[in-house]
Amino acid sequence: MDIDLELAPKRKRAAGTPCCEPVVYPDVERVRAERMAAVAKALGDPIRLQLVDVLRKHAGKVCVCELTPLFDVGQPTVSHHLKVLRQAGIVDSERQGLWAYYYVLPDALAEFSGWLGGTRSEERAT
């Protein structure tokens, strides 16, 4: 019930007729989807999501030595996850002597967040 008639199969349909014409999307939509999916993928691991969470909680820059003991994985694994986040453009780092400090890049999550938050397509900017 409550089917959107616009998208219901166009005819009462004799078996064999294609049910509807394909809706073609402009290429830019696909590129945008790939960009946002890359961000979502990077956030699609509990450790990485928590890393971003911690970095956002502390608006400043956080030492890796503070991040590592938060998780039940080894240091190389945390380093790996931070690298994934950096490659996704979500965080960046800065070295200070022996230590490395990570921070969230502002606006890195803006596009994805905007898409997620918007309930209707009309609200989106191109």
Give me the residues that bind DNA (CB under 7 A), please.
12-16, 18-19, 41, 44-45, 47, 63-65, 68, 72-77, 79-84, 93, 95, 97-100
Q: Environment class of residue 54 by beta-carbon count within 10 Å: exposed (0-12), middle (13-18) or buried (19+)?
A: middle
Decide which of its own copies, DNA, none touches 123; Cβ closer than 5 to 8 Å per partner kind: none
CB-based contacts of 42, cutoff 8 Å, min separation 6: 48, 84, 85, 87, 88, 90
**Does the protein bind its own copies through residue 4 (CB under 8 A)?**
yes
Instruction: Using the minimum distance from each CB to DNA, give the nearer residue, 40 or 115.
Output: 40
Structure tokens at 43: 């956030």
Instruction: Using the minimum distance from each CB to its own copies, give the nearer residue, 46 or 76.
Output: 46
